[in-house]
Amino acid sequence: MILVAGSANLDFVVRAPHIPSPGETVMGHDFKTFPGGKGANQAVACARAGGVPTTMLLALGDDTFAQPLEASLAAAGVSMHIKRCKDLPTGTAFICVSDGGENAIMVAPGANTALLPADLPPLQGISHLVMQLETPLETVAAYADAARTSGVFVVLNAAPAQTLPAALLASLDVLIVNQGELAIVADHGGSVDECLARLQVPCVVVTLGSQGSCARVNGVVTRQAAFNIQPVDTTGAGDTFVGSFVACLAQGQDIATALKTANAAGALACLTAGAQSSIPTRSEVALFLSQHA
């Protein structure tokens, strides 16, 4: 079973001709709310990838914003360990999506900040632990340490990026970042290969947008080209990649297959508006791959 421990946010999404510059007001032409949050998105992506049961540890407020998040996770087949916070609101994100599919996101974490080391459920039966950085760093580090001690495979998506303690990096089996996050975690402004050389994590996966993705596993780099698509909304594409990639690993697939499958899932997520609403199922990914062989 995969355990995702992390954030859940209700996304407030405005579509507009372009993302506003500082001080600029842009008239939008569409507004919707969607279930989101990096942790919840990745849990849904793991579950929809199929093959391995998925559960999620999350913190929610005692408010109406929590309801669509719980409903979306349940509909995807994710079981939940919920910490209910009466004094904090459910996390929210405010997202502007341009007509070109790019986005700008601001997060009000709310209840996500209340996820504490003591909230980690028993790890019996858990094969993989997946985390992000929208919950407190000390909590993430504590969970990673507990998982490593219990023989659980530890995956961290270091987003939003920040400098990470050496002890946390030493607890990881897989680190997943985009190119900007890689530079921050590696504390180096050089090339992808130069940044990778500074990190001692056994497996580091880097998403490269239109350039695809790559993974360095024990010094060997595997690259996967991007699929040619016209994006509608890139929100949640990175989370879809993470969830799909971990699901592949949990099923025993090799790195090359996991990269290709995750790239396909992330590409499909760009073709539909919203975060969790855009995450494809296993059959949809398989069809896409058959059409792009």
Maximal CA-CA distance, the chain = 52
SS3 at position 191: coil
* Separation CA 130–CA 7 (nearest Å): 11
For 229, counting Cβ atoms within 10 Å of its Cβ (0-12 exposed, 13-18 middle, 19+ buried), the class is middle
* Separation CA 129–CA 124 (nearest Å): 12
* Separation CA 146–CA 58 (nearest Å): 17
Residues labelled as active-site residues: 239
The answer to whether 17 and 142 have CB atoms below 8 angstroms apart is no
Beta-carbon contacts of 85 under 8 Å, excluding residues fewer than 6 positions away, are: 59, 60, 61, 62, 110, 111, 114
Beta-carbon contacts of 23 under 8 Å, excluding residues fewer than 6 positions away, are: none
* Separation CA 33–CA 93 (nearest Å): 10
